[in-house]
Amino acid sequence: MRLHNYWRSSCSWRVRIALNLKGLAFEYVPVHLVKDGGAQHTDAYRALNPMRTVPTLEFTHEGRVHFLSQSLAILEYLEERYPSPALLPADPLLRAHVRMLSEVMNSGIQPLHNLSVAQRVKAELKGDDKAWNAYWIERGLTALQALAEQTAGRYCVGDEVSFADVCLIPQLYAARRFGVDLSPYGLLTRVEAACAGLPAFLAAHADRQPDAVPA
Ligand SMILES: N[C@@H](CCC(=O)N[C@@H](CS)C(=O)NCC(=O)O)C(=O)O
């Protein structure tokens, strides 16, 4: 498998964690989102992913090369193809809770602070992109924590790592990056601390990737 991704892209990071948790080796293919206007906008990359976003997972299945994008679709594919260890609970209701929390981040937070959105807020609307990002992240994390209170154990849903935790860790990194005060989010940062020591999470961390830029 080859993962076309970027070190501090939260969506890429989700897939790196899931691949690591499932023990799946992958080749790291960096896609620089900023340098020279962004490699995601090149014809070569658009042929793999017309949405011009990372991640894209490239792999061969039954003799054909596939390019799968949309991080949650990739997580679902990995879960079905490589079910152990499970990243969704067996119980249908708890699975729905995991998906609900994941979607809060996937469709309710990340798209609003995505690079191309923030770039337009700044360039076209002459707005404060950092304040814009922080606003949507805070609003989303407040909802996320209230929702997670229904199910949290050691992790977001019970005591097993799930998609929700896989989405949470990069989301909190992005929150800090945009100056969000995480002190009101005790439940979320407690789950983050529980994940932090797990090897799969450690290896997937943005700062440890080959294309990471030291602070
Ligand atoms: N829903 C997509 C979102 C992908 C996405 O927005 N990726 C960001 C990085 S986290 C990106 O590539 N942004 C590039 C840009 O906005 O130009 C997914 O989950 O994969």
Q: Which two tokens stand for residue 183?
A: 């002190």
CA of 11 to the centre of ligand 1 (A): 6
CA of 51 to the centre of ligand 1 (A): 8
Take atom 9 of ligand 1 and give the residue whose Cα is closest: 9
Q: Which two tokens stand for residue 4?
A: 């076309």
CA of 113 to the centre of ligand 1 (A): 10
Q: What is the pLDDT of residue 140?
A: 98
**Ligand 1 near 209 CB (within 6 A):** no
For 197-214, b/e burial (b = at least 16 CB within 10 A) is: ebebbeebbbeebeeeee
Q: What is the pLDDT of residue 215?
A: 74
CATH number of 92-201: 1.20.1050.10
**Ligand 1 near 112 CB (within 6 A):** no
Q: Judging by DSSP bridges, how do beta strands 27-30 and 2-5 pair with one another?
A: parallel
- DSSP E strands in the chain: the ranges are 2-5, 27-30, 56-61, 64-69
Quick one: which atom of ligand 1 is closest to the CA of 10? 10
> Is the complex ipTM more than 0.95?
yes
Helix (H, G, I), strand (E, B) or coil at 134: helix
- DSSP E strands in 81-163: the ranges are none
Take atom 5 of ligand 1 and give the residue whose Cα is closest: 53
Q: What is the pLDDT of residue 165?
A: 98
Helix (H, G, I), strand (E, B) or coil at 53: coil
Per-residue pLDDT of the chain (215 residues; tens, 9 = 90+): 999 999 999 999 999 999 999 999 999 999 999 999 999 999 999 999 999 999 999 999 999 999 999 999 999 999 999 999 999 999 999 999 999 999 999 999 999 999 999 999 999 999 999 999 999 999 999 999 999 999 999 999 999 999 999 999 999 999 999 999 999 999 999 999 999 999 999 999 999 999 999 87
SS3 content of the chain, % helix, strand, coil (to 5): 55, 10, 35
Quick one: which atom of ligand 1 is closest to the CA of 6? 9
**Ligand 1 near 70 CB (within 6 A):** yes
Quick check: pTM over 0.95?
yes
- Burial (CB count <10 Å: 0-12, 13-18, 19+), residue 112: middle
Q: Do domains 2-84 and 92-201 have the same CATH topology?
A: no
Which of 115, 137, 166 has the most ligand 1 atoms within 8 A of CB, as the residue to mutate?
115
Q: What is the pLDDT of residue 198?
A: 98
Q: In angstroms, rounded to a whole number, what is the distance separating the alpha carbons of residues 204 and 168?
A: 13
Q: What is the pLDDT of residue 115?
A: 94
**Ligand 1 near 118 CB (within 6 A):** no
Residue 98 contacts residue 89 (beta carbons within 8 Å): yes
Domain map (residue ranges) of the chain: 2-84, 92-201
Q: Which CATH class is domain 2-84?
A: alpha beta
State phi, psi for 53 to the nearest 5 degrees: -130, 160
Taking CA 182 as the corner, what is the angle to CA 113 and CA 184, rounded to the nearest 5 degrees? Answer: 120
**Ligand 1 near 106 CB (within 6 A):** yes
